[in-house]
Homo-oligomer: A and B are copies of this chain.
């Protein structure tokens, strides 16, 4: 079940046989969640970190007025909750957009990895650094991009990240989100998301059919959303 993790890490740097084995030997427990059921909540102190194996999950906080803000979107292979290993107390919640399968890794075993496998530790650290890089990119989008550009950026990011885990079909991919859920991600109202979708459609950049999205003009969409994939740090190199 941790094959996804190995794959994801090996994309950024080579792992030794010993490291792959160390991962494979982690005593994971499988955890299933139906659509819309939270995995962990703000304030929790989890004893395990959760790796998303299948489905779409997200991290969020709700504002005082009850508006939800999504802080991160997660696709299969993402170590959704690795930071709780060291932060201890959750400063946000984790929810699911579809039925999800998680591999739960005990913190005690992660700790053992850090004691015995320095390079593997750096690779796990790296994966949390990439999460942070995505946070920063979203901050730029939230602060300085118009609504339609934010949406365009999100589509580029999701296509790129899904492609890495082989969940795209050319320029098409499944994004099982309603427009209301998109509005929680983009920090917009549902109505305005609808108008942005129509804008991108009208500009001929995407075809949006239910949950299936097809990018019609990648270069134009990336330009529209000021998307540059540097921040995803996809290069394979010694770390």
Cβ contact within 8 Å between B139 and A135: yes
Cβ contact within 8 Å between A71 and B139: yes
CB within 8 A of A92: which of B59, B87, B136? Answer: B136
A229 (CB) vs chain B CBs: closest residue: B91
Cβ contact within 8 Å between A69 and B233: no
How many copies of this chain sit in the oligomeric assembly?
A: 2
Closest Cβ–Cβ distance, residue A65 to chain B (whole Å): 8
Cβ contact within 8 Å between B69 and A143: yes
- Binding site of A, secondary structure by majority: helix, strand, loop or mixed? helix
In this assembly, does A64 line the interface, its C-beta being within 8 Å of a C-beta of chain B?
A: yes
A72, A138, A143, A230 interface centre (most CB from chain B within 10 Å): A143
Cα(A88)–Cα(B237), bound, Å: 9
Given contacts A69-B143, A118-B114, A121-B121, contact A91 B231 (CB under 8 A): yes
In this assembly, does A29 line the interface, its C-beta being within 8 Å of a C-beta of chain B?
A: no
Q: Which of A126-134, A158-166, A205-213 contacts B (4 or more CB under 8 A)?
A: A126-134
Cα(A78)–Cα(B115), bound, Å: 25
CB within 8 A of A71: which of B126, B128, B140, B239? Answer: B140
In this assembly, does A145 line the interface, its C-beta being within 8 Å of a C-beta of chain B?
A: yes
Cα(A64)–Cα(B146), bound, Å: 12
Binding site for B on A (CB under 8 A): 43, 59, 61, 63-65, 67, 69, 71-72, 83, 86-89, 91-92, 111, 114-115, 118, 121-122, 125-126, 128-133, 135-140, 142-145, 186-187, 226, 230-231, 233, 235, 237, 239
